[in-house]
Amino acid sequence: MPDSSTPYRGRFAPSPTGPLHLGSLIAALASYLDARAQQGSWLVRIDDLDPPREEPGAAAGILQSLRCHALHWDEDILYQSQRSLPYQKVLDTLQAKGLLFACDCTRTQLDANGNCGGDCCRRQTDITDPAALRAHLPKGSVIRFTDQLQGQQTLASGQPINDFVVRRKDGLDAYQLAVVVDDAAQGINHVVRGSDLLDTTVKQVFLQQQLGYPTPVYCHLPVITNSQGQKFSKQTHARPLDDDVAAGNLRLALSFLGQPDPLPGLLQPAEILTFATTHWQRDRIPARAAIDAATIGVT
Ligand code: GLU
């Protein structure tokens, strides 16, 4: 955990699968405000690791939307699609530590928790391509971290996760690997993002520990859900943000985050952000996993 004299470095890491929607704006805004309120840097990374899920032009559209909301980032943007070399190096390190195994399980062979179900660990010499690479948790390992909002999180090997994919069967590097390598490479010491990623964070902490990387401070925000209780996302047809009403979007996102309403006379996104940075109180964010959009009047 970083000590208080280390400069704060936070980030927003969208996947370019579609335009920003209110849910992603909430994550961008909270990570931005938490960083700026502590005189920190705020970086943007494009998680373009998965070309089949990518939408052409989405990365540029997301960046344009951030600019329209006055969410200006520091430093150069990192594109994960250009990072295969460092990912390979880290895979080699994990391999040398005996933490990886090849797994040729089909989806139906995995167990209910997504663990390898085909005993691949013991069949290594029989396994041929295409195969995924999985990291396995040594027996008896217990990984813990305390989330600023969601409290203590624990993963003990086998309960329910034994192993997880670090390189996919189709040869693409997996999110769990890339996020750990890039957060460390960029010196990120605070991660503010949606609670839909809370379960996967223990896997990231496990990799950090194995690789000797520091573990950032984590803050997992409630996700915004529609009337059916589904998280806002492209799959649930969340409406793209209208950049022409950026100030209104920011006001809605602040209300979702339990922050004080910016003064009515503040009309420009940059003015709203200055107000919100000065008044930012992380402990006013509801410590919940999900909140219905209707509570902030969005239907
Ligand atoms: N790219 C991920 C997403 O859009 C977020 C990654 C992260 O914040 O660690 O869900």
Q: Can you list the domains of the chain with their CATH numbers?
A: 9-82+187-195+215-296 (3.40.50.620), 84-175 (3.40.50.620)
Average of pLDDT values for 171-177?
A: 97
Which residue's CA is the nearest one to ligand 1's atom 8? Answer: 13
Residue 2 banded pLDDT, cuts 50, 70, 90: low
Contacts of 14 (CB under 8 A, 6+ apart): 20, 24, 28, 44, 46, 47, 62
Residue 14 banded pLDDT, cuts 50, 70, 90: very high
Over 90: is that where the pLDDT of 143 sits?
yes
Whether 250 and 277 have beta carbons less than 8 Å apart is answered as no
Average of pLDDT values for 245-262?
A: 98
Write out pLDDT tens, residues 92-108: 999 999 999 999 999 99
Q: Is the CB of 193 under 6 A from ligand 1?
A: yes
pTM, full prediction: 0.96
Q: Is the CB of 47 under 6 A from ligand 1?
A: yes
Closest CA to 144 of 135, 156, 133: 156
Over 90: is that where the pLDDT of 184 sits?
yes
Q: Name the residue of 47, 204, 224 whose CB sits within 8 Å of the most ligand 1 atoms, as the mutation to test its pocket.
A: 47
Residue 159 banded pLDDT, cuts 50, 70, 90: confident
Residue 1 banded pLDDT, cuts 50, 70, 90: low
Write out pLDDT tens, residues 194-242: 999 999 999 999 999 999 999 999 999 999 999 999 999 888 888 999 9
Distances from the Cα of 284 to the Cα of 30, 139, 221, 258, angstroms: 12, 39, 11, 5
